[in-house]
Amino acid sequence: MNSPLDSAGTGANGGIQSGRYYGRGIPYLPIDGYPGKLIAIEGTDGVGRSTQIQLLREWLEVQGYGVVETGWTRSPLMQPTIELAKASNTLNKLTFVLLYATDFADRLEKEIIPALKAGFVVLSDRYIFTALARAGVRGVDRQWLRSLYGFAIAPHLVFYLRVDVETLIGRILKSRGMDFWESGMDLKLGDDIYDSFRAYQNRLLREYASMADEFHFRIMDARRSMAHIQDELRKQVAAFLERGDGAPAVR
Amino acid sequence: MLNNLERKHEYSGKLFVVEGIDGSGKTTQLALLAKWLSAEGYRVFVTEWNSSVLVKAATKSGKKKNALTPMTFSLLHATDFADRLLYKIIPPLKAGMIVLADRYAYTAFARDVTRGVDRQWVRELYSFAVRPDLALYFRVPIDVSLDRLMARRVKLKFYEAGLDLGWSANPMESFRLFQGKVLDEYERIGEEFGMQVVDAVLSITVQQRLVRALVSPHLRVEAAPETVDEQPVG
């Protein structure tokens, strides 16, 4: 049943296959052979993901690809609940993880899978790795997390915009400042928000780094210029999309 | 991997669980059990499936717009359960109380799998749950449960009747189809997790006698009745 579309994955040793479910999957939604492509852009806050996605979308559409964007915590089903829970600060780490997973399941079934079925390129601003990193930092069992997200689809490409904590601090302070959750204040890592932000983001970066091999991240240096990163993204996306999937760019 | 559902918990309290489809009479039996335990001097806490404040809003709006898929239905209930477990079930267990749960993770196993969710996935999802000291399964034929619900003039609820699955537009017929499959799952789960089966067709009193007989052995050692304040020690 292996289609040539799976060639981007590393199914050779029985590991993750891009375009397939990571784990047990959703039995009532078989996705084999769907023509669309799922591309995730990952990275902590302040690495410029949204800008890169906007530029990438623009470029893909000019090439003639249909593009759908999706984000993390944007589903109409859960958004009010998550906002409420964040505001009231009553979430424990387990319900936090499960709320985000519910939200993702909603988006997966109602946005991502239909778009893949219809042949769109789906650009995901963050993906499950954000949830895995945040929960991992908070001490949630890693095996359990991976089993939970076994219903997620392995993206065809995962770009990880990597940055060091010093650069990140500079960017966040210049733009919108540090907020409670981005600083991991719930973890009580430091007395003030700066110390906490630093410690928390350091831990997050370590979590992302530990996932890089497991989930086949393509690592990009987010300290480079916006234009340079975009060039690199386009090169790699173009190489992937033009590789024998029968749907070359419209000329 | 967490495997809490498979190993005995270490709390000083006791967790007793009742399971069964709507109309099996489990809630009636649980209420009578609670009465008896309280009268015996135990401190009892009763908790229901799907009763936490946090996700009630989301479940409701989902139901209204008919927007829940089998996966989001499953995950929402797991979220609710996690919230209740950590805030309502574990603290009384730590305090040595008896917790009576009207439905537990097994309800999710039965319903979610019937809706098409992966059987192993949902078990792993709930692997953070505390293993009950005793789980009672009230086994009842569909017709008996439907008769009971109709006699009480209960309006069959959308999700309880499995109307979201579109198997039948008729609520009664849908209930019969959906809960019939739920019963099959319960049979499997009962064996897998060692639930005690109670014949829910028997009279209320006979069932309650059985229930108390099944609960009694769990009360002897650790969870001795509280010393009553009015009788000073020594």
User: What pLDDT digit, counting tens, does each position of B155-171 carry?
Assistant: 888 888 898 888 999 99
Residue of A102, A141, A151 to mutate, testing the B interface (most B Cβ within 10 Å of its Cβ) = A102
Residues in chain B closer than 8 A to A105 (CB atoms): 69, 71-72, 75
In chain B, which among 178-197 make CB contacts under 8 A with chain A? none
Per-residue confidence band for A244, with pLDDT thresholds at 50, 70 and 90: low
B72 with A92: Cβ contact below 8 A: no
Q: How many domains does the structure of chain B reveal?
A: 1
Q: Does residue A16 surpass a pLDDT of 60? A: yes
- Determine the length of chain A: 251
The percentage of chain B sitting over the pLDDT mark of 70, rounded to a whole number, equals 86
Burial of B228 (0-12, 13-18, 19+ CB in 10 A): exposed
The percentage of chain A sitting over the pLDDT mark of 70, rounded to a whole number, equals 86
Q: Which of B67, B82, B120 has the CB atom closest to A94's CB atom?
A: B82
Stated as kind and residue range, the H or E segment containing B138 is strand B134-139
Residue B184 maps to a domain: yes
Stated as kind and residue range, the H or E segment containing A218 is strand A217-221
CATH code for the structural domain at A14-163+217-240: 3.40.50.300
Between residues B29 and B53, the one the model is more confident about: B29
Q: Which residues contact A26 (CB under 8 A, 6 or more apart)?
A: A109, A151, B71, B116, B117, B118
Q: Residue B66: what pLDDT? A: 57
| R_g of chain A computed on alpha carbons | 18
Between residues A73 and B186, the one the model is more confident about: B186
Full domain range(s) for residue B106: 4-218
Residues in chain B closer than 8 A to A30 (CB atoms): none
B72 with A25: Cβ contact below 8 A: no
Residue B148 maps to a domain: yes
A77 with B72: Cβ contact below 8 A: yes
Residue type, A130: T
A78-95: average pLDDT:
71
Stated as kind and residue range, the H or E segment containing B63 is helix B53-64
Q: Residue A13: what pLDDT? A: 41
* Nearest chain A Cα distance for residue B122, angstroms: 8
B71-97: average pLDDT:
93
Domain-wise residue ranges, chain A: 14-163+217-240
Q: Does residue B221 surpass a pLDDT of 80? A: no
Alpha-helix runs per DSSP H in chain A: 49-63, 79-88, 93-107, 113-117, 128-137, 142-148, 165-174, 193-211, 226-241
A120-146: average pLDDT:
95
Residue tagged 């970066």 (tokens): A205
Residues in chain A closer than 8 A to B167 (CB atoms): none
Residue B225 maps to a domain: no
Q: pTM for the whole thing?
A: 0.87
Residues in chain B closer than 8 A to A24 (CB atoms): 118, 120-121
Q: Does residue A177 surpass a pLDDT of 90? A: no
B58 contact A CB<8A: yes
Per-residue confidence band for B113, with pLDDT thresholds at 50, 70 and 90: very high
Residue B105 maps to a domain: yes
CATH number of the domain that B12 lies in? 3.40.50.300
Residue B232 maps to a domain: no
A131-158: average pLDDT:
95
As given in the structure block, the two tokens for residue A83 are 């906002």
Q: pLDDT tens digits, residue range A181-231?
A: 778 888 888 788 888 889 999 999 999 999 999 999 999 999 999 999 999
Q: Does residue A10 surpass a pLDDT of 50? A: no
Element counts in chain A: helices (H) and strands (E) = 9, 5
Residue tagged 């630093």 (tokens): A198
B118 with A26: Cβ contact below 8 A: yes
Q: Residue A174: what pLDDT? A: 82
Q: Which of A8-12, A29-33, A210-214 shows the lowest per-residue confidence on average (mean pLDDT)? A: A8-12
Residue B234 maps to a domain: no
Q: How many CB pairs under 8 A join A and B?
A: 90
B62 with A77: Cβ contact below 8 A: yes
Q: Are B69 and A89 in contact (CB under 8 A)?
A: no
Q: CA–CA distance from A77 to each of A1, A88, B21, B172 (Å)? A: 35, 19, 28, 29
Residues in chain A closer than 8 A to B67 (CB atoms): 76-77
Q: Are A60 and A185 in contact (CB under 8 A)?
A: no
Q: Residue A131: what pLDDT? A: 94
Q: Indicate the average pLDDT of chain B.
A: 89
Between residues A76 and B194, the one the model is more confident about: B194
A174-186: average pLDDT:
81
